[in-house]
Amino acid sequence: MADVLVVSELKDGELKKISRELTSAARKIADAIGGKVHTVVIAASADKYAADLKAVGADAIITANLGDFNPEGYANGIAAIIQEKKPAVVLIPHSSQGKEYSARVAIKVNAGIVADAVGLSVDGGKVVAKKPIYSGKAYANFKISSDIQIFTVRANSQEVSQKEGAGSVEASSASAGEVRLKSLSKDLSGGNKVQLADASIIVSGGRGIKGPENWPLLQDLADTLGAALGASRATVDAGWISHSHQVGQTGKTVSPNCYIACGISGAIQHLAGMGSSKYIVAINKDGDAPIFKVATYGVVADLFEVVPALTSEFKKVLG
């Protein structure tokens, strides 16, 4: 048997979409290599999430009570579960949390790791991970030669398929163990209404919005679509918006189903952060802007005319 273990992620007590994505991807891998899917829920109880995870392929939902997030504690607990279950493949969200503990886990269980995968397939019993390289200008495929293969996977990169697993629920005795790192405080004041990394739709603004006073125009469209608000580095550097909204090489890397770029020229550093979006809609007065080379749909027009019209129409359609 060559099992697959998924580490799920919660936000405000709710299962994040990436958890279902990875469990569904694990189901396909397990079917190909002849194993079971174990999904770890880091919480006191997994009963609340069992039905959702079973529906997308989890054979076993494992509760691990590791306390509040601590990269050392999570690494200790997850490594203990891996050593107990002995999976061939481990899938971890490429999130702010996952990026902090995944390499620690790999060291503890003597495993190879590929970070920021956007595609997963199986060849010869080994997982092949597709990931962007050279700031998103190309893609490369990677295999891991170690017995345990660990992959961190970008949100919104995997399709969710409904295929039920056995869905048993069990509690793990794994603990956070001794940790040297302690969290002293949290500052959530600069956060988005919808988190960029998790968003299926992102409305993003660049210098073309002309000033910080015009963000409400884009926020209205974002709120209408249930989208996150993004920004180019130029607007962040100008002090128009906080860095938490920045998309690009020095900001956040995202893969939404739809990325709406308003007044963004499309510098290579920005494309590196959103080039893997499924659909890209570009709105810019400059028909020669580089963003149009990657756009699925392009509107050569003034965003101050197009965005309010889009918002109005979406409000009619979406109620």
pLDDT single digits (tens) 215-261: 999 999 999 999 999 999 999 999 999 999 999 999 999 999 999 99
Domain assignment of residue 91, yes or no? yes
The C-alpha atoms of residue 62 and residue 228 are separated, in whole angstroms, by 31
Residue 102 labelled as part of a binding site: no
pLDDT beyond 80 at 187 = no
Same domain, 200 and 136: no
Q: Are residues 200 and 164 in the same domain?
A: no
pLDDT higher than 70, residue 189: no
Average pLDDT on 95-123 reads 97
Report yes or no on 181 lying in a domain. Answer: no
Domain count, the chain: 2
- Whether residue 25 is found in the same domain as residue 161: yes
Do 148 and 36 have their domain in common?
yes
Q: Clarify whether residues 161 and 296 are in a common domain.
A: no
| pLDDT tens track for 110-163 | 999 999 999 999 999 999 999 998 878 889 999 999 999 999 999 999 999 999
Answer yes or no: is 265 a known binding residue: yes
Residue 168 scores a pLDDT above 80:
yes
Q: Is residue 80 part of a domain?
A: yes
The annotation status of 296 as a binding-site residue, yes or no, is no
Exposed, middle or buried, 1 (CB in 10 Å: 0-12/13-18/19+)?
exposed
Given a cut of 80, whether residue 192 has pLDDT beyond it is no
* Residue 284 counted as an annotated binding residue: yes
Quote the mean pLDDT of the chain: 94
Task: Return the CATH number at 268.
Answer: 3.40.50.1220
Phi-psi region of 297 (alpha: psi -120 to 50; beta: other; left: phi over 0): beta
Within this chain, do residues 130 and 249 fall inside the same structural domain, yes or no? no
Clarify whether residues 97 and 137 are in a common domain. yes
> pLDDT for 61-87, tens place per residue?
999 999 999 999 999 999 999 999 999
Q: What is residue 195's predicted lDDT score, i.e. its pLDDT?
A: 82
How far, in Å, CA of 153 to CA of 151, rounded?
6
Residue 184 resides in a domain: no
Is residue 230 domain-shared with residue 293, that is, in the same domain? yes
Distance, in Å, from the CA atom of 259 to the CA atom of 248, rounded to the nearest integer, reads 13
The answer to whether position 45 is within a domain reads yes
Beta bridge partner(s), residue 119: 130
Q: What is the pLDDT of residue 300?
A: 98
Determine, yes or no, domain membership for 277: yes
pLDDT band at 45 (very low <50, low <70, confident <90, very high): very high
The reply to whether 267 sits in an annotated binding site is: yes
Q: Is 249 annotated as a binding residue?
A: yes
Query: Is 250 a known ligand-binding residue?
Result: yes
pLDDT recorded at residue 58: 97
- What range defines the domain where residue 98 resides? 4-171
235 is an annotated ligand-binding site residue: no
DSSP 47-63: HHHHHHHHHTT-SEEEE
Does 38 belong to an annotated binding site?
Answer: no
> Measured between alpha carbons, how far is residue 312 from residues 284, 305, 307 in Å?
19, 11, 9
Q: Is 266 annotated as a binding residue?
A: yes
| Integer Cα distance of 23 and 20 in angstroms | 5
Residue 180 annotated as part of some ligand binding site: no
Mean pLDDT across 41-70? 95
167 and 225 in a single domain? The answer is no
d(Cα 257, Cα 276) in Å, to the nearest integer?
A: 9
Q: How confident is the model at residue 265 (pLDDT cuts 50, 70, 90)?
A: very high
In degrees and rounded to multiples of 5, residue 213 shows phi and psi of -70, -10
Of residues 186 and 111, more confidently modeled: 111
Distances (CA, A) of 193 to 97, 118, 157, 245, 264: 19, 25, 21, 11, 22
Q: Where residue 194 falls among pLDDT bands split at 50, 70, 90?
A: confident
> Which of 171, 206, 240 marks a domain boundary?
171
Given 136, 171, 206, the domain boundary residue is 171
- 178 within some domain: no
**Pair 160, 248 in one domain:** no
Within 8 A by CB and 6+ apart from 82, the residues are 5, 90, 105, 109, 148
pLDDT at 41: 98
- Tell whether 208 and 164 lie within a shared domain: no
pLDDT score, position 81? 98
Task: Please name the amino acid found at residue 24.
Answer: S
Q: Is the pLDDT of residue 296 over 80?
A: yes
Neighbours of 65 (CB within 10 A): 16
- Using only C-alpha atoms, the chain has a radius of gyration, in whole angstroms, of 21
- At residue 188, the pLDDT reads 66
Cα torsion through 94, 97, 100, 102, rounded to 10 = -50
- 20 belongs to an annotated ligand binding site: no
What per-residue confidence (pLDDT) applies to 137?
82
Q: Would residue 190 count as lying in a domain?
A: no
Q: Are residues 156 and 96 in the same domain?
A: yes
Residue 163 sits in a domain whose CATH number is 3.40.50.620
